Amino acid sequence: MTELRLNGKNEDGTHLSLHDNDGNEFTVRISDTLRATVNQPRLSAVPEQEADTISIKEIQRRLRAGELAEELARENNIPIEKIERFSGPILQERIYIIDQAQQVSVRKEGSRDPVNLLGVVVSRLAPRNIDLSDLSWNTWRHEDSTWTVELHYPNTSGVGIAQWNFDTTRRVLTSMDENARWMMGDEPPARQMSAPGLVYSDANHPSLREDITPMPEVPRLAVIRELPDDEAARDGVVARAKVPSWDEIMFGIKPTEDQ
């Protein structure tokens, strides 16, 4: 391949003059295409892709924890194809966990076979004309090695969400919200009652004020001693008790004493 060097334009300015290493002269017509090519802004060089900043182990850990492949690719500036290359085993594991959770026995009715989680969900939703094709399941792992199993199902407000905590070692499911408890037929937690005792309140509040009308004071019965008659004196009685009248009791009239 011969390398040419620009020598300038011809006198008319319609052609470029070029020379090779042997001194041979060449000309190139200055066309509109050539002008556009020469005047086109120079594209900035694409920087070389930096080394990956996330390991395969970290990719799989975060996928297992429920993060999406698209989010990982965007956050770490790596091709989505690389994330998907290692996501297959993790997705299979999550599908396996969902299947295991659905088969956990959660209810036993008399002598009948135990009912698993999937059976309970179907029995709850079937009367609402909801079948298996309307359900969507998801799961992700926590640091303590337990999993959250999440169910999406149609309801009157759009989509209902129920969550369970799944301990794969003990094969135990625990309801995490009201929808999950409703699915399982669990009773709502009992409201805690306060310990019996006095309730103190501000007596100055208008709603707590009571107009108490004082009761009229009733005079206590008083025993009035009076002089005995002759017969009582012979019997050794030195004074006879006199009971006040009703007027004396109600209106406080002092009885008169006989001298």
Other Cβ atoms less than 10 A from the Cβ of 173: the count is 21
Q: What is the mean pLDDT of residues 51-61?
A: 82
Q: What is the mean pLDDT of residues 80-89?
A: 89
Give 192's DSSP letter. Answer: P
Q: Is the pLDDT of residue 48 over 80?
A: no
- Summarize pLDDT for 216-228 with one digit per residue, the tens: 554 444 444 455 5
Nearest-10 crossing angle of helices 69-76, 56-64: 140
What is the C-alpha to C-alpha distance for residues 153 and 155, in angstroms, rounded to an integer? 7
The whole model's pTM is what? Answer: 0.52
Closest CA to 146 of 115, 182, 100: 100
Mode of pairing for the β-strands spanning 105-107 and 115-116 = antiparallel
Q: What is the mean pLDDT of residues 76-84?
A: 89
pLDDT of 257: 52
Q: Is the pLDDT of residue 56 over 60?
A: yes
Other Cβ atoms less than 10 A from the Cβ of 153: the count is 19
Mode of pairing for the β-strands spanning 15-19 and 147-155 = unpaired
Residue 176 burial class via C-beta count within 10 angstroms: exposed 0-12, middle 13-18, buried 19 and up: middle
- Summarize pLDDT for 121-155 with one digit per residue, the tens: 999 999 999 888 899 999 999 999 999 999 999 98
pLDDT of 234: 55
pLDDT of 112: 73
- Summarize pLDDT for 158-209 with one digit per residue, the tens: 899 999 999 999 999 999 999 999 998 875 544 444 444 444 444 444 434 4
pLDDT of 250: 52
What is the C-alpha to C-alpha distance for residues 223 and 226, in angstroms, rounded to an integer? 10
Backbone phi and psi for residue 93, each to the nearest 5 degrees, phi listed first: -65, -45
pLDDT of 32: 61
Q: Who's near 93: CB < 8 A, 6+ residues apart?
A: 64
